[in-house]
């Protein structure tokens, strides 16, 4: 392989790697921003301090029924079935306006049980002939996973810059044609470019799963 071909291979692979790195950076930044905004808006809705440990997920639904009937149904359902994916829950208080609970276990960052106690709250408000149910649930924050993702962003950038320099310094400029064929090894930088996508996705996953299940629970209350 001649010198020009080796140089263009390195440049091409580095350019593709840079595009992947930028996409990973944007995806991780958007995920970090969305999770912070979720915690902030949820805390403002329930007028509580923004959590520094667990995250906070809030939502609402308007369903048929009276607050007293719905709160009793919710308490009975939670006592019987728990709150998937948290498992069994302990109901701390329940009346026609509010239900407070804490979980005996919690989903971890990858969807498994981590054993942490989380708090939750449901509020019932009459809206004409219907009831609005506002809820807030502590969820895994994803901060550790996001931190690992940002570490790989730094490592990926270092791999692109350092790998490109090493290739031009020792491979492209080598007088040995077989050594110049190692320019394809610049592709190995991809191993540090895909983890930001993985860790950002894992950081989003638990809250999305919890939101879907809590929303289904609340919407199905009139039929339970």
Range from 96-110, 126-140, 165-179 that averages highest in pLDDT: 126-140
pLDDT above 70 (res 119) = yes
pLDDT above 80 (res 110) = no
Which comes out higher in pLDDT, residue 107 or 174?
174
pLDDT at position 181 is: 81
Residue numbers of the domain that contains 137:
31-141+209-223
Q: What is the pTM of this model?
A: 0.84
The count of structural domains within the chain is 2
Instruction: Please tell me whether residues 18 and 100 are part of one structural domain.
Output: no
Q: What are the start-end ranges of the E strands in the chain?
A: 55-64, 89-94, 98-103, 119-127, 130-139
pLDDT above 70 (res 50) = no
> What gap in Å lies between CA 179 and CA 182, rounded to an integer?
6
> What gap in Å lies between CA 46 and CA 203, rounded to an integer?
23
- Domain CATH number, residue 102: 3.30.530.20
pLDDT at position 218 is: 94
> What gap in Å lies between CA 28 and CA 197, rounded to an integer?
7
Q: What are the start-end ranges of the E strands in 48-194?
A: 55-64, 89-94, 98-103, 119-127, 130-139
Contacts of residue 96, defined as CB under 8 A and 6 or more positions apart, other chains included, come to: 66, 67, 68, 71, 124
């Amino acid at each position: 392989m001649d010198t020009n071909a080796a140089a263009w291979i390195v440049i091409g692979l580095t350019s593709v790697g840079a595009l992947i790195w930028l996409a990973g950076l944007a995806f991780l930044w958007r995920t970090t921003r969305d999770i912070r905004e979720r915690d902030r808006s949820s805390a403002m809705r329930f007028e509580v301090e923004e959590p520094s440990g667990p995250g906070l997920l809030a939502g609402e639904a308007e369903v048929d029924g009276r607050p007293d009937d719905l709160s009793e149904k919710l308490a009975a359902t939670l006592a019987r079935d728990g709150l998937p994916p948290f498992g069994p829950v302990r109901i701390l208080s329940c009346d026609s306006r509010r239900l407070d609970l804490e979980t005996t276990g919690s989903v971890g960052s990858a969807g498994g049980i981590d054993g942490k106690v989380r708090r939750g709250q449901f509020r019932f408000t009459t809206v004409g002939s219907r009831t609005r149910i506002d809820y807030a649930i502590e969820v895994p924050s994803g901060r550790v996973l996001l931190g690992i993702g940002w570490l790989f962003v730094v490592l990926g950038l270092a791999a692109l810059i350092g790998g490109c320099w090493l290739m031009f310094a020792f491979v492209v400029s080598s007088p040995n044609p077989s050594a110049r064929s190692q320019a394809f090894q610049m592709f190995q930088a991809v191993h540090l470019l895909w983890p930001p996508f993985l860790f950002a996705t894992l950081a989003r996953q638990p809250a999305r799963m919890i939101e879907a299940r809590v929303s289904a629970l609340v919407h199905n209350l009139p039929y339970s």
